A and B are shown apart, each in its own frame.
Chain A
Amino acid sequence: MLAFVLRRLFQSLIVMLAVALIAFTMFRFVGDPVNQMVGVDTPQEQVAQLRQTLGLDEPVVVQFARYIYNAARLEFGVSYQFRLPVISLLGERAPATLELAFMSALFSLLVGIPMGVYTALRRDSWLAKIFQTVSLVGISLPTFLIGILLIYLFSVTLGWLPSFGRGEVVKLGNWWTTGLLTASGWKALILPSITLGLFQMTLIMRLVRAEMLEVLRTDYIKFARARGLKTRAIHFGHALKNTLVPVITIAGLQLGSIIAFAIITETVFQWPGMGLLFLKAVQQVDIPIMAAYLMLISFLFVTINLIVDLLYALVDPRLRATIGAH
Chain B
Amino acid sequence: MKPRNLALAAALLGVSVLALGAAEAKPLKWASAGDALTIDPHGQNEGLTTSVNQHMYESLTERDHAGKLHPLLASSWKVLPDDPTTWEFKLQEGVKFHDGASFTADDVVFSYERAMQPTSDFKGYLTSFEKVSKVDDLTVRIKTKGPNPLLVNNTSSIRIMSKAWAEKNNATKAQDFKNKEENYAVRNANGTGPFVLVSREADVKTVMKRNENYWAKAKVPLEITELTYVPIKQDATRIAALLSGEVDFVQDVPVQDIARLKGDSKLRVTSGPENRTIFFGMDVASKDLKSDNVEGKNPFADKRVRQAMNMALNRGAIQRVVMRGESIPTGIILPPFANGWTKELDAAPAVDVAKAKALLKEAGYENGFSVTLHCSNDRYINDEGICQSAVGMFGQIGVKVNLVSQSKSIHFNLIQKNPPETEFYLVGWGVPTFDSDYVFSYMYHSRTGSQGSWNATGYSDKDVDAQIQTLSKEIDIAKRDATIAKIWAKVKDETIYLPLHHQSLSYGMKSALDIPVDVSNNPKLKMVAFKGS
Binding site for B on A (CB under 8 A): 30-33, 35-36, 39-47, 50, 53-54, 78, 80-85, 89, 92-93, 144, 148, 151-152, 155-156, 159, 162-166, 267-270, 272, 276-277, 279-280, 283, 285
Instruction: Check B410 against A270 for contact (C-beta < 8 Å).
Output: no
Instruction: Check B124 against A78 for contact (C-beta < 8 Å).
Output: no
Residue of A nearest to B418 (CB): A44
Instruction: Check B233 against A267 for contact (C-beta < 8 Å).
Output: yes
Residue of A nearest to B187 (CB): A84
Instruction: Check B204 against A35 for contact (C-beta < 8 Å).
Output: no
Residue of A nearest to B43 (CB): A83
Partner of A272 from B38, B180, B203 at Cβ < 8 Å? B203
Counting chain A CB atoms within 10 Å of each CB, the highest count among B37, B186, B204 belongs to B204
Give CA–CA (A46, B122) in the complex, Å.
Answer: 12
Instruction: Check B37 against A81 for contact (C-beta < 8 Å).
Output: yes
Instruction: Check A78 against B442 for contact (C-beta < 8 Å).
Output: no
CB within 8 Å of A: which B7-49 residues: 34, 37-38, 43, 45-46
Interface 1/0s, chain B 43-65, versus A by CB < 8 A? 10110000000000000000000
Instruction: Check B234 against A270 for contact (C-beta < 8 Å).
Output: yes
Binds A, one of B90-98, B235-243, B324-332, B344-352: B235-243
- Neighbouring A residues of B237 by C-beta, 8 Å: 148, 151, 163-164, 268-270
Using A270-B233, A272-B203, A280-B233 as known contacts, say yes or no to A156 and B243 having CB atoms under 8 A apart: yes
Q: Is B135 an interface residue (CB 8 A)?
A: no
CB within 8 Å of A: which B120-147 residues: 121, 124
Give CA–CA (A82, B43) in the complex, Å.
Answer: 9
Give CA–CA (A39, B124) in the complex, Å.
Answer: 9
Interface 1/0s, chain B 211-234, versus A by CB < 8 A? 000000000000000000011111
Q: Is B178 an interface residue (CB 8 A)?
A: yes
- Neighbouring B residues of A93 by C-beta, 8 Å: 203
Q: Is B201 an interface residue (CB 8 A)?
A: yes
Interface 1/0s, chain B 194-218, versus A by CB < 8 A? 0000000111110000000000000
Interface 1/0s, chain B 423-455, versus A by CB < 8 A? 000000100100000100010000000100110
Partner of A166 from B176, B204, B413 at Cβ < 8 Å? B204
Residue of A nearest to B180 (CB): A85
Instruction: Check A165 against B230 for contact (C-beta < 8 Å).
Output: yes
Partner of B240 from A83, A155, A267 at Cβ < 8 Å? A155
- Neighbouring B residues of A54 by C-beta, 8 Å: 177
Instruction: Check B178 against A78 for contact (C-beta < 8 Å).
Output: yes
- Neighbouring B residues of A78 by C-beta, 8 Å: 177-180
Binding site for A on B (CB under 8 A): 34, 37-38, 43, 45-46, 121, 124, 175-180, 182, 186, 201-205, 230-234, 236-238, 240-241, 243-246, 378, 407-410, 412-413, 416, 418, 429, 432, 438, 442, 450, 453-454
Instruction: Check B244 against A163 for contact (C-beta < 8 Å).
Output: yes
Q: Which 8 A-B pairs have the closest CB atoms?
A: A31-B409, A31-B410, A43-B450, A272-B204, A83-B175, A155-B244, A163-B240, A270-B232
- Neighbouring A residues of B124 by C-beta, 8 Å: 39, 41-43, 46
Give CA–CA (A159, B180) in the complex, Å.
Answer: 44
- Neighbouring A residues of B179 by C-beta, 8 Å: 78, 83
Instruction: Check B37 against A36 for contact (C-beta < 8 Å).
Output: no
Residue of B nearest to A50 (CB): B177
Q: How far is the CB of B521 from chain A (nearest CB, A)?
A: 15
- Neighbouring B residues of A166 by C-beta, 8 Å: 204
Q: How far is the CB of A201 from chain B (nearest CB, A)?
A: 23
- Neighbouring B residues of A53 by C-beta, 8 Å: 177-178
- Neighbouring B residues of A283 by C-beta, 8 Å: 378
Q: How far is the CB of A143 from chain B (nearest CB, A)?
A: 12
Instruction: Check B177 against A44 for contact (C-beta < 8 Å).
Output: no
Instruction: Check A43 against B453 for contact (C-beta < 8 Å).
Output: yes
- Neighbouring B residues of A148 by C-beta, 8 Å: 236-237, 240
- Neighbouring A residues of B453 by C-beta, 8 Å: 41, 43-44
Residue of A nearest to B430 (CB): A40
- Neighbouring A residues of B442 by C-beta, 8 Å: 40-41
- Neighbouring B residues of A30 by C-beta, 8 Å: 407, 409-410
Partner of A164 from B230, B245, B410, B416 at Cβ < 8 Å? B230
Instruction: Check B240 against A156 for contact (C-beta < 8 Å).
Output: yes
Partner of B186 from A45, A84, A280 at Cβ < 8 Å? A84
Residue of A nearest to B205 (CB): A165
Q: How far is the CB of A190 from chain B (nearest CB, A)?
A: 15
Q: How far is the CB of B53 from chain A (nearest CB, A)?
A: 15
Give CA–CA (A279, B429) in the complex, Å.
Answer: 26
Instruction: Check B232 against A164 for contact (C-beta < 8 Å).
Output: yes
Residue of B nearest to A89 (CB): B202
- Neighbouring B residues of A92 by C-beta, 8 Å: 202
Give CA–CA (A162, B237) in the complex, Å.
Answer: 10
Instruction: Check A270 against B231 for contact (C-beta < 8 Å).
Output: yes
- Neighbouring A residues of B177 by C-beta, 8 Å: 50, 53-54, 78, 80, 83
Give CA–CA (A53, B38) in the complex, Å.
Answer: 20
Residue of B nearest to A158 (CB): B244
- Neighbouring A residues of B34 by C-beta, 8 Å: 280
- Neighbouring B residues of A276 by C-beta, 8 Å: 203, 233
Q: What are 27 contact pairs spanning A and B, CB under 8 A? A: A31-B408, A32-B413, A33-B409, A35-B409, A36-B408, A36-B409, A40-B429, A41-B454, A43-B124, A44-B418, A45-B450, A53-B178, A78-B180, A83-B38, A83-B175, A85-B180, A148-B236, A155-B241, A156-B244, A159-B244, A159-B245, A164-B232, A164-B246, A268-B237, A269-B237, A277-B203, A279-B233
Instruction: Check B201 against A272 for contact (C-beta < 8 Å).
Output: yes
Residue of B nearest to A155 (CB): B244
Instruction: Check B412 against A35 for contact (C-beta < 8 Å).
Output: yes
Instruction: Check B202 against A82 for contact (C-beta < 8 Å).
Output: yes
Residue of A nearest to B121 (CB): A39
- Neighbouring B residues of A32 by C-beta, 8 Å: 409-410, 413
Give CA–CA (A84, B179) in the complex, Å.
Answer: 8
Give CA–CA (A166, B37) in the complex, Å.
Answer: 20
Give CA–CA (A50, B450) in the complex, Å.
Answer: 16
Instruction: Check B454 against A39 for contact (C-beta < 8 Å).
Output: no
Give CA–CA (A41, B453) in the complex, Å.
Answer: 8
Q: How far is the CB of B408 from chain A (nearest CB, A)?
A: 7
- Neighbouring B residues of A277 by C-beta, 8 Å: 203
- Neighbouring A residues of B205 by C-beta, 8 Å: 165
- Neighbouring A residues of B438 by C-beta, 8 Å: 41
Give CA–CA (A47, B388) in the complex, Å.
Answer: 32
Give CA–CA (A285, B179) in the complex, Å.
Answer: 20
Give CA–CA (A44, B454) in the complex, Å.
Answer: 10
Q: How far is the CB of A91 from chain B (nearest CB, A)?
A: 12
Q: How far is the CB of A170 from chain B (nearest CB, A)?
A: 13
Give CA–CA (A162, B247) in the complex, Å.
Answer: 11
Using A35-B413, A162-B246, A164-B246 as known contacts, say yes or no to A152 and B240 having CB atoms under 8 A apart: yes
Instruction: Check B246 against A155 for contact (C-beta < 8 Å).
Output: yes
Counting chain B CB atoms within 10 Å of each CB, the highest count among A41, A46, A151, A268 belongs to A41
Q: How far is the CB of B261 from chain A (nearest CB, A)?
A: 12
Using A54-B177, A268-B234, A279-B233 as known contacts, say yes or no to A40 and B454 having CB atoms under 8 A apart: yes
Give CA–CA (A168, B291) in the complex, Å.
Answer: 56
Residue of B nearest to A151 (CB): B240
- Neighbouring B residues of A279 by C-beta, 8 Å: 233
Give CA–CA (A293, B232) in the complex, Å.
Answer: 21
Counting chain B CB atoms within 10 Å of each CB, the highest count among A30, A78, A162 belongs to A78
- Neighbouring B residues of A31 by C-beta, 8 Å: 407-410, 413
Q: How far is the CB of B437 from chain A (nearest CB, A)?
A: 12
